[in-house]
């Protein structure tokens, strides 16, 4: 189930990834996750489950947080895609990264890129999230290491820092 | 000289920056030129003889690399303890999903079709699926009696206590299989060339386990096998022994094709084929005095090991030693066994047998309290181990542990007494019943008994001409903080800043064998060796007259530069030395089982919803004595993460078996806790210190897996007065036990849930 179909005609797909225009010749039903990882060498998005449960493959597609394992690449045609690699200039990244390091928000790190994108998405919508907002906002991203407590703390700390700045 | 201590400070995770930027490299992020993808053709029956393998002619088989057992240059086994598990089944299979044949191709999607185009004819043999069937021995599937290992622990004269007992309390308890569910699936890349031999890169815990297994399988000498650990996305024991199997498969394909081969499992394959926590059954029969003192007991602990011996004997050992809990038993007889069934082998998972036997002990203590007529807290107070007393294996408690005080503090932190009263009142009405439960437990750090002596671990520290220091260990980082705490220890020992110390990527051509990264041994055992090896660098420089007692970072740099210019490399090694006063008898299973124990009392609060039959955990207080806390943020993260997994073990995570095969092998229907499911997990430490560990550290990683499940089930009983003896406890189990009128057909799976 996790392997992109290898048959059928390839087609041209154009989209922007991390601000750069890309033209690819791919199978339309290939998973966006595989195109990002294999064709574009953007390996920050990870495959955890291949069925949209774990959120490790999270990316921003036209500003929406999506599981890239569930998106056929043809569906991303014309879209603007942002992966963890394209986030370094984002205003929320610095506070989030610092808070994740300080609070122990990353352990094995495999869910972390997705978790950080989910946190960015949450804080863009809700700059001052209540604890329940954080729990709900991250509920699509599974972490097996932390028990989430230190991730909640990191997101909350990043939000406070940005608001007070 | 540095002023502040590094050990004990929450310095940031060494590899943290790479992880939060997505730059960290996991095995599936790595591509080698000319690389093929490998796949595994597996058994679809539980037990039988392989009659015929045929290949659908519609596939262009000449484009594929094919490997069967006949292609194995060395011994067809995954070398571990008993060497009974084949790398590829040749004439018979003993569990569903057993590997039979390997395929490789450049195009991943073509592999899936090719797997489907291989058909294997079997002559089925009668299988054994449960502990009960296995112990009946009407079908023998392993050895002469289906028994991988058994232990007998005897202390005092238990046969004499039954006469004087005021109460005899019996109970039977069950725990289910549990999937480790690391978010990164298992994966290995192997490459081969005749000159250098086999190199593997992978997601793994124990580089030298893989090294040993590949030597035997590939029939290559030590220096022709190289194992490199990549960043590893969670492990929890699930990458202790199984990576040797995948590495073997990838290596065989690489040797046959002369090209690099990547095998990365998808989630379904990982869940259906790889190891899980051993299912268990524990029986207690306990003699108790009128005032609630344990007089003696018989404990029978049995685990389902699956089809091959793998690590079951060691898991059983830990479960055996922890079976009596943190209590003083004047007499006890513990009989334990690991049995064979035709399921994929069960294996290492955080806690390693202890969560199973401690679940039984801590549920049973609540039962004893009811029979005696005293509170759950009081029954524990009256029986806690005290300094000077001995454990079930007659290990004398030498440390100054005060479990009574630990319990009192946990009860205060959780507002236990007030809540108990309030819930009793509130539960008289409404459909949402609240309860609160306790678990007291211990966890031994390091290998059991003589294990550390046999491991004979070696650790290195090297200093470079630029004054940078590098720790050389085979201990792997997989989230738990190995890199960070070992660098902290080395920096502290050398009085250098944390930033001056790095850790080598585990690579068997670079790092010595410091043992496997398991058994809560890294901080305590390996940490102590790192400390000693680091001190060795300083002593070498001092002996050479290049460094005084007190020095600045710059002076240290200058000394290293001068030493290396004059004499070459500056490395220092330290080898494990068993403490002299430690006695262990492997035959009688008696003596000092562990160098140190961590101690804990956890309190869980739950709500049982009688409308939905769901149990919700509302609060967990996790109080533990773990020796010196080397890094508070990392230590807390170990506890919260372990508690979360243990909540899953208790209430969510059910492996559904059908003919020896897991049928819910997806994250959609094997449910682990999400951020929305978990209560506040409140972590508290006490630090007593420990003479065997670096700076007094003990093990910490596995401990939090032991206590939450019994505390939660004790709380459920407190809430609704119904005794459950089996986990996972799912809403359907509550429904089966609580519904007013039984439905016409009882499903067999629900019968166990409400013993």
Q: pLDDT by residue (tens digit) across A43-96? A: 999 999 999 999 999 999 999 999 999 999 999 999 999 999 999 999 999 999
User: From the list A88, A105, A144, which residue is nearest B183 (CB)?
Assistant: A144
Asked if pLDDT for residue B467 goes beyond 90, the answer is no
Closest listed residue to residue B363, CA positions, set B480, B291, B281? B281
CA atoms of B65 and B312, how far apart (whole Å): 34
Say yes or no: B60 contacts chain A, CB-CB below 8 A: no
Can you give B341-385 as a three-state secondary structure string?
CCCCCCCCCCCCCHHHHHHHHHHHHHHHHHHHCCCHHHHHHCCEC
C-alpha distance from A68 to closest chain B C-alpha (Å) = 15
Asked if pLDDT for residue B417 goes beyond 50, the answer is yes
Q: Which helix (H) or strand (E) holds A95?
A: helix A93-103
Burial class (CB in 10 A: 0-12, 13-18, 19+), B114: buried
Percent of chain B with pLDDT over 70: 97
The CA angle B546-B550-B554, to the nearest 5 degrees, is: 65
Take residue A153 and report the two structure tokens written for it: 């703390």
The count of structural domains within chain B is 3
A152/B675 touch (CB, cutoff 8 Å), yes or no: yes
Helix A149-164 to helix A93-103 angle (10° resolution) is 140
> Which structural domain range is residue B295 located in?
280-448+589-754
**B286 and B400 fall within a common domain:** yes
Say what the pLDDT of residue B754 is: 35
**B431 and B520 fall within a common domain:** no
Helix B708-720 to helix B416-426 angle (10° resolution) is 40
* Distance (Å) of CA B274 to CA B100, B237, B707: 15, 11, 26
* Distance (Å) of CA B723 to CA A143, B511, B712: 32, 51, 12
Q: pLDDT by residue (tens digit) across B5-26? A: 999 999 999 999 999 999 999 9
Take residue A159 and report the two structure tokens written for it: 């939000």
**B285 and B239 fall within a common domain:** no
Interface test with B, best of A55, A142, A149 (most B CBs within 10 A): A149
| B112 to chain A: closest CA residue | A3
Say what the pLDDT of residue B745 is: 52
Helix A149-164 to helix B632-647 angle (10° resolution) is 130
Q: pLDDT by residue (tens digit) across B73-99? A: 999 999 999 999 999 999 999 999 999
The answer to whether residue B424 sits within a structural domain is yes
CA atoms of B166 and B289, how far apart (whole Å): 5
User: Which residue, of B575, B597, B629, is where some domain finishes?
Assistant: B575
Q: How many CB pairs under 8 A join A and B?
A: 189
In the predicted model, what is the mean pLDDT of residues B31-58? 98
Say what the pLDDT of residue B166 is: 98
- The CATH class, in words, for A93-164 is mainly alpha
**B328 and B403 fall within a common domain:** yes
Domain at A11-86: CATH code: 3.10.20.30
CA atoms of B613 and B671, how far apart (whole Å): 17
Q: pLDDT by residue (tens digit) across B315-341? A: 999 999 999 999 999 999 999 999 999
Partner residues linked to B36 by β-bridges? B261
The answer to whether residue B366 sits within a structural domain is yes
**B632 and B598 fall within a common domain:** yes
A51/B678 touch (CB, cutoff 8 Å), yes or no: no
Say what the pLDDT of residue B741 is: 66
**B229 and B84 fall within a common domain:** yes
Local structure of B199: helix, strand or coil: strand
The CA angle A114-A115-A118, to the nearest 5 degrees, is: 85
Asked if pLDDT for residue A126 goes beyond 60, the answer is yes
**B528 and B672 fall within a common domain:** no
**B252 and B297 fall within a common domain:** no
**What CATH number does residue B200 fall under?**
3.90.1170.50
Say what the pLDDT of residue B640 is: 98
Is residue B583 very low, low, confident or very high in pLDDT (cuts 50, 70, 90)? confident
**B541 and B561 fall within a common domain:** yes
In the predicted model, what is the mean pLDDT of residues B39-48? 98
CA atoms of B145 and B166, how far apart (whole Å): 38
Where do you find CATH 3.10.20.30 in chain A? 11-86
Take residue B57 and report the two structure tokens written for it: 């002619």
Q: Which residues does B551 contact at the CB level (< 8 Å), separation at least 6? A: B1, B495, B559
CB atoms within 10 A of CB A1: 11
In A98-137, the residues whose Cβ lies within 8 Å of chain B are 100-113, 116, 134-136
- Assembly ipTM: 0.96
Q: Which helix (H) or strand (E) holds B312?
A: helix B312-322
The CA angle B664-B667-B673, to the nearest 5 degrees, is: 115
DSSP state of B407: H
User: Which residue, of B520, B548, B575, is where some domain finishes?
Assistant: B575
Q: pLDDT by residue (tens digit) across B149-200? A: 999 999 999 999 999 999 999 999 999 999 999 999 999 999 999 999 999 9
**What CATH number does residue B514 fall under?**
3.30.365.10
Asked if pLDDT for residue B517 goes beyond 80, the answer is yes
Take residue B261 and report the two structure tokens written for it: 């081969």
CA atoms of B491 and B475, how far apart (whole Å): 17
Q: pLDDT by residue (tens digit) across A21-53? A: 999 999 999 999 999 999 999 999 999 999 999
B667/A51 touch (CB, cutoff 8 Å), yes or no: yes
The answer to whether residue B715 sits within a structural domain is yes
The answer to whether residue B491 sits within a structural domain is yes
Closest listed residue to residue B611, CA positions, set B434, B430, B737, B435? B430
**Cβ burial B626-645 (10 Å sphere, 16+ → b, else e):** bbbbbbebbbbbbbbbbbbb
Asked if pLDDT for residue B3 goes beyond 60, the answer is no
How does the average pLDDT of chain B come out, rounded? Answer: 95
The answer to whether residue B357 sits within a structural domain is yes
The answer to whether residue B275 sits within a structural domain is no
A37/B29 touch (CB, cutoff 8 Å), yes or no: yes
Write down the pTM of the prediction.
0.96
The answer to whether residue B106 sits within a structural domain is yes
Percent of chain A with pLDDT over 90: 91
Is residue B743 very low, low, confident or very high in pLDDT (cuts 50, 70, 90)? low
CB atoms within 10 A of CB B20: 26
CA atoms of B522 and B702, how far apart (whole Å): 12
The answer to whether residue B547 sits within a structural domain is yes
């Amino acid at each position: 189930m996790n392997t992109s179909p290898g048959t059928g005609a390839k087609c041209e797909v154009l989209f922007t990834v991390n601000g750069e225009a890309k033209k690819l010749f791919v199978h339309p039903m290939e998973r966006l996750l595989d195109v990002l990882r294999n064709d574009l060498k953007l390996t920050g998005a990870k495959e955890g489950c291949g069925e949209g449960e774990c959120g490790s493959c999270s990316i921003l597609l036209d500003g929406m947080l999506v599981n890239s394992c569930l998106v056929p690449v043809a569906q991303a045609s014309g879209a603007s895609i942002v992966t963890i690699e394209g986030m370094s200039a984002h205003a929320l990244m610095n506070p989030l990264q610092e808070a994740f390091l300080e609070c122990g928000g990353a352990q094995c790190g495999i869910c972390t890129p997705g978790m950080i994108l989910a946190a960015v998405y949450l804080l863009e919508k809700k700059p001052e999230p209540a604890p329940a907002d954080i729990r709900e906002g991250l509920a699509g991203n599974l972490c097996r290491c932390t028990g989430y407590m230190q991730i909640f703390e990191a997101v909350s700390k990043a939000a406070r820092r940005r608001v007070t700045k | 000289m540095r002023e502040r201590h590094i050990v004990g400070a929450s310095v940031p995770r060494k590899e943290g920056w790479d992880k939060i930027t997505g730059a960290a490299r996991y095995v599936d992020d790595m591509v080698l030129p000319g690389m093929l993808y490998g796949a595994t053709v597996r058994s679809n029956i539980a037990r039988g003889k392989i009659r015929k393998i045929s290949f659908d002619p519609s596939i262009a088989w000449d484009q594929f690399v094919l490997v069967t057992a006949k292609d194995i240059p060395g011994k067809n086994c995954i070398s571990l303890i008993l060497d009974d598990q084949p790398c590829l089944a040749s004439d018979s299979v003993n569990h569903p999903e057993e590997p039979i044949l390997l395929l490789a191709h450049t195009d991943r999607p073509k592999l899936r079709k090719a797997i489907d185009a291989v058909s294997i004819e079997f002559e089925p043999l009668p299988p054994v699926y449960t502990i009960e069937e296995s112990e009946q021995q009407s079908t023998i599937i392993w050895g002469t009696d289906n028994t991988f290992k058994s232990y007998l622990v005897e202390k005092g004269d238990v046969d004499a206590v039954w006469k004087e007992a005021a109460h005899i309390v019996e109970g039977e308890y069950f725990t289910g299989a549990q999937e480790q569910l690391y978010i990164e699936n298992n994966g290995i890349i192997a490459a081969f060339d005749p000159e250098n031999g086999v190199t593997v890169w992978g997601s793994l815990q124990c580089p030298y386990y893989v090294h040993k297994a590949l030597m035997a399988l590939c029939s290559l000498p030590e220096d022709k096998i190289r194992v490199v650990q990549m960043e590893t996305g969670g492990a929890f024991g699930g990458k202790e022994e199984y990576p040797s199997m995948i590495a073997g498969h990838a290596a065989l394909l690489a040797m046959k094709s002369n090209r690099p081969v990547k095998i990365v499992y998808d989630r379904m394959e990982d869940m259906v084929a790889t190891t899980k926590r051993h299912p268990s059954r524990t029986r207690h029969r306990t003699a108790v005095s009128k005032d609630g003192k344990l007089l003696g007991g018989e404990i029978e602990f049995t685990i389902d090991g699956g089809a091959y011996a793998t690590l079951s004997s060691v898991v059983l050992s830990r479960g055996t030693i922890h079976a009596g809990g943190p209590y003083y038993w004047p007499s006890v007889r513990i009989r334990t066994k690991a049995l064979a069934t035709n399921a994929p082998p069960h294996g290492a998972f955080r806690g390693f047998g202890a969560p199973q036997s401690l679940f039984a002990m801590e549920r049973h203590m609540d039962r004893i309290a009811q029979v005696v007529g005293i509170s759950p807290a009081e029954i524990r107070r009256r029986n806690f181990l005290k300094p000077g007393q001995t454990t079930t294996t007659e290990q004398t408690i030498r440390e100054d542990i005060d479990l009574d005080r630990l319990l009192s503090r946990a009860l205060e932190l959780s507002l236990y007494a007030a809540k108990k009263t309030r819930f009793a009142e509130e539960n008289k009405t409404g459909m949402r019943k609240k309860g609160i439960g306790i678990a007291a437990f211990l966890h031994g750090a390091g290998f059991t008994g003589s294990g550390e002596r046999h491991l004979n671990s070696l650790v290195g520290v090297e200093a470079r001409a630029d004054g940078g220091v590098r720790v050389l260990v085979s201990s792997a980082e997989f989230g738990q903080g190995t890199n960070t705490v070992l660098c902290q220890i080395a920096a502290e020992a050398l009085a250098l800043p944390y930033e001056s110390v790095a850790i080598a990527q585990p690579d068997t051509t670079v790092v010595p064998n410091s043992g496997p990264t398991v058994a809560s041994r890294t901080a305590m055992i390996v940490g102590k060796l790192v400390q000693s090896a680091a001190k060795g660098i300083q002593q070498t420089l001092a002996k050479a007259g290049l460094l005084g007692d007190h020095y600045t970072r710059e002076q240290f740099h200058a000394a290293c530069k001068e030493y290396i210019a004059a004499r070459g490399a500056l490395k220092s090694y330290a080898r494990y030395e068993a403490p002299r006063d430690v006695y262990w008898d492997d035959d009688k299973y008696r003596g000092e089982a562990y160098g140190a124990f961590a101690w804990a009392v956890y309190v869980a609060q739950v709500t049982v919803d009688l409308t939905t039959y769901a149990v919700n955990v509302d609060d967990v207080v996790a109080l533990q004595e773990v020796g010196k806390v080397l890094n508070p943020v990392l230590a807390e993260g170990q506890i919260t993460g372990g508690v979360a997994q243990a909540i899953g073990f208790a209430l969510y995570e059910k492996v559904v078996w059908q003919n020896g095969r897991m049928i819910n092998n997806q994250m959609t229907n094997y449910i682990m806790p999400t951020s929305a499911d978990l209560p506040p997990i409140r972590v508290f430490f006490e630090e007593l210190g420990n003479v065997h560990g670096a700076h007094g550290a003990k093990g910490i990683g596995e401990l939090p897996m032991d206590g939450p499940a019994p505390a939660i089930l004790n709380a459920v009983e407190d809430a609704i007065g119904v005794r459950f003896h089996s986990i996972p406890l799912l809403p359907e189990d509550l429904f089966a036990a609580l519904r007013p009128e039984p439905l016409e057909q009882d499903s067999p799976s629900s019968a166990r849930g409400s013993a």
